Structure 1
Amino acid sequence: MDWFTALLNNPGITRALPPAILETLQMVAISGVATILIGLPLGILLFTSRPGGLAPVPWLHAILSNIIVNITRSVPYAILMVALIPFTQFIVGTAIGPIAATVSLTIGTVPFFARLVEVALREVNSGKLDAAHVMGSTRMQIIRKVLLPESLPGIISGITTTLVMLVGYSAMAGLIGGGGLGRLAYNYGYQRFDTTVMVITIILMVVLVQVIQIIGDRIARAVDHR
């Protein structure tokens, strides 16, 4: 455990580590909530407006799917977060810090999560939708009482996958002033050639990902009544 001893003997790193962890958690939490609030309705709209959906609107589905979702997903996050710096400054007044980083994190992950929601909704048995329609349920009732409850395990898995991806994205955001473990690894590990900091950062991110995955898997199993 030479790296652990080196960490204890470096007061600068030990002081910087707790704030970096909190900043990473802050970025993941804020952007995660924003992604769910925006991506869930977008995913539902993608599903319902597609040809053969509950409320087919081909032109709307084409715009949402081919332009908004596919184009945004095709842009690498490293390029996206740099391109969004002026927009981030306009929204939050600054392009530096964990709060500013949540803007690009949210925009980068919403299309991904929306697509996962659409896939989860497609896995719902169409017979249940037909039965609800025959019983006189409205489209909104079918969405609320059939689609969302039946697809909940898949949506929870999608949330878990999105949060895991946000952990990795938050590290990249740290390279341009977003803060968190990414900035710590860059400032102390890369620029100062300190392998100890790199090892600590990797371990912490692996632990965070594992915790998110374990919690997400347990929630998905708990809500799965199939």
Structure 2
Amino acid sequence: MKILVAVKRVVDPNVRVRVRPDGQGVELTNVKMAMNPFDEIAVEEALRLKETGKAEEVVLVSIGPAQANETLRNGLAMGADRGIHVQTDARVEPLAVAKLLKAIAMEEAADLMFLGKQAIDDDANQTGQMLAALLGWAQGTFASRVELGEGRVSVTREVDGGLQTVSLKLPAVITTDLRLNEPRYASLPNIMKAKKKPVDVRTVESLGVDIAPRHTVLSVTEPPARKAGTLVASVDELLDRLRNEAGVL
């Protein structure tokens, strides 16, 4: 079995995001970048399936500028076998990402594909669902548990009312949630080994996909600053303010 995992280069989750002066996006110059946290979980789950003998190869796929190679190397250091880098400096929307991943999945004859449920930069939560629709594969989203069987995969997913378990016929697309696993840290020897693992660089044109944006960003603004709170001298004063000023009682 071959598993493909999509990984995205995003601003490190511990970095404070700043809006660019032109209001057309967030500042990326000299900003620490990292693999999307949900994608790390996807990589970890694929590696665990390989370690239990249920998969033979784990291939990472990333779409983005030349620096996305670093993200792939991080995943290879975790234990993935090889990477595919679709290099482009253009802004790629979820539908275009899904089309590119479809092309890669068909070329690689993948049996299972993992994606993070969403990327922390745009929080679109669309690519996995679109990819499954384009491929005509079964999909299991927001996975908190994955059990691979003979020709099928069982996915426990988080829904508003609790947990739902679905049985999917392979091939399938699975998007991972936070509670699925705890990603491993890459050891120094594996980081060194990752430098020698193959990464195939592709172009959008070679895949025959139109990535022209269908949306126009009008402006990006920071959320309004929160007003400072006030201290009250007693519970009676608190209740009075909640009732007469805030109007919540």
State the TM-score, normalizing by the size of structure 1. 0.25
Per the normalisation by structure 2, the TM-score is 0.23
Which structure has the highest strand share of the two?
2
Between 1 and 2, higher relative CO (CA 8 Å, sep ≥ 6) is seen in: 1
